[in-house]
Amino acid sequence: MPTNKQIHLASRPEGEAQAGNFRLVTAETPPLADGQVLVRHHYLSLDPYMRGRMNESKSYAQPQPVGQVFQGGTVGEVVESRNPKYAVGDKVVGFGGWQEYSVVDGNQPGMLRKVDTAHVPLSHYLGAVGMPGVTAWYGLVKIIAPKAGETLVVSAASGAVGSAFGALAKARGCRVVGIAGGPDKCKYVTDELGFDACIDYRQHPDAKSMSAALKEACPQGIDGYFENVGGYILDAVLSRLNAFARIALCGMIAGYDGQPLPLANPALLLINRVKLEGFIVSEHMEVWPEALKELGTLVAAGKLRPRESIAQGIEAAPEAFLGLLKGRNFGKQLVKLI
């Protein structure tokens, strides 16, 4: 069995996460038992939610254990199998964590899923046609539930979730406005993803300025908002909401270092009779088949062209992850292992 490089969580962060919170470890891969398969990972997924799991405080998911493989989504290939459902060479998506290989019980529901790479690149199953894409689909379809002609806004618009949200919303006849960091990302959001407008938050560093930019980009107000960030951007959006607006609350990356994120004017939620719903996409597995079918069709048809930032080698994972938390990635952040 091959030796296996892994990244472990070495310690919990105090404030900002640091490279020293991670440790590179080399381990022996155990022999397979009946029903198990050995997966060689091609790509690791790096996602903002992972920062919250580094903390020990109460959250929607169990904290990442210290001294164990850092958990996360993976895509790869079966290289050995003692399970009749999986053959050597099968391409699979799973939750193998930050390591080069994983041993998976192929009989345990939801642990491994075979994927077709004829029309969708393997890496996209960690982004547009994976958990981030389904996250966008659920927030749009099940919470915002838009009508054609409505104006929708999404923060972190150039990322894996935001880009999928834009394609799905445009397919439903909505006006879609993104918020992203920097002119290159904003140009990608409008020119390649087909958003109607994109606001550069670096040019609007406070709620007053952002609110003015939103007024210009959304002259008819905002009917639906997909929230990935929190902080002053949420304050600005609240000031531009129409009556009976809907907010799908997916992430609060501005507060992942443990600082509280107070709302400046929560009375706006009442004044505008806003529906605000937080959600975790793994609690809604029933929608995944429908969502993945639509997302795969959009990618295959060229209507969703996701960007990827790719770091090389497992040793690069911690720094790439820290960069993601500061917005240095462009699109879905991955680590390529082979």
Q: In terms of domains, do 19 and 121 share one?
A: yes
Is 292 domain-assigned? no
pLDDT of residue 7: 98
For residue 61, name the pLDDT band (cuts at 50, 70, 90). confident
CA gap 231, 32 in Å, rounded: 47
Domain membership flag for residue 68: yes
Region 116-126: mean pLDDT is 94
Cβ(274)–Cβ(245) below 8 Å: yes
At residue 99, does pLDDT exceed 90? yes
Asked whether the beta carbons of 17 and 325 are under 8 A apart, the reply is yes
Burial class from Cβ neighbours inside 10 Å (0-12, 13-18, 19+) for residue 243 reads exposed
At 258 the pLDDT is 67
User: Quick one: 238 and 158 in the same domain?
Assistant: yes
Task: Give Rg (Cα) of the chain.
Answer: 20
For all residues of the chain together, what is the average pLDDT? 95
Q: Report DSSP state, residue 326.
A: T
Which tens digit of pLDDT belongs to each residue from 143-171? 999 999 999 999 999 999 999 999 999 99
Q: Supply the CATH number for residue 325's domain.
A: 3.90.180.10
Element (H, E) at 133: helix 131-138
In this structure, the answer to whether residues 114 and 139 fall within a common structural domain is no
313 found inside a domain: yes
Would you call 10 exposed, middle or buried from its count of C-beta atoms within 10 A (0-12, 13-18, 19+)? middle
- Domain-located, residue 106: yes
**What is the pLDDT averaged over residues 320-335?**
94
Which residue range is the domain that position 68 belongs to?
Answer: 3-127+306-336
The DSSP H or E segment spanning 187 is helix 183-191
Residue 28 shares a structural domain with residue 136: no
The reply to whether 264 and 144 lie within a common domain is yes
For residue 166, give every residue at least 6 positions away whose Cβ sits within 8 Å of its Cβ, in sequence order, or none.
154, 157, 176, 178, 189, 193, 194, 195
Q: What percent of the chain has pLDDT over 70?
A: 99
Q: Residues of the chain with pLDDT > 90: what percent?
A: 89
Last residue of a domain, one of 247, 266, 282: 282
Please indicate, yes or no, if residue 290 is contained in any of the structural domains. Answer: no
Q: Are residues 94 and 175 in the same domain?
A: no
pLDDT in tens, 194-247: 999 999 999 999 999 999 999 999 999 999 999 999 999 999 999 999 999 999
Together in a domain, 143 and 260: yes
Q: Kindly tell me if the per-residue pLDDT of 257 is higher than 80.
A: no
Q: Is the pLDDT of residue 58 over 80?
A: no
Q: Which residues of 215-224 are buried (b: 16+ CB within 10 A; e: fewer)?
A: eebbeeebbb
One domain for residues 160 and 252: yes
Domains in the chain: how many in total? 2
In-domain check, residue 56: yes
Residues in the chain: 338
Tell me if 76 sits within 8 A of 97, measured CB to CB.
no
Matching residue, tokens 């009989």: 107
* Lookup: tokens for 59: 């959250």
Q: In this structure, are 14 and 39 located in the same domain?
A: yes
**What's the rounded mean pLDDT across residues 191-196?**
95
Distance separating alpha carbons of residues 200 and 183, to the nearest angstrom: 7
Answer yes or no: do 93 and 161 share one domain. no
Specify the pLDDT at position 251.
87
Q: Is residue 288 part of a domain?
A: no
Which tens digit of pLDDT belongs to each residue from 274-286?
999 999 999 999 9
75 and 176 fall within a common domain: no
CATH value at residue 135 = 3.40.50.720
Mean pLDDT confidence for 65-85: 97
Examine residue 87 and state whether it is found in any structural domain, yes or no.
yes
Tell me: do 102 and 149 sit in the same domain.
no
- For 288-321, the pLDDT digits (tens) are 999 999 999 999 899 999 999 999 999 999 999 9
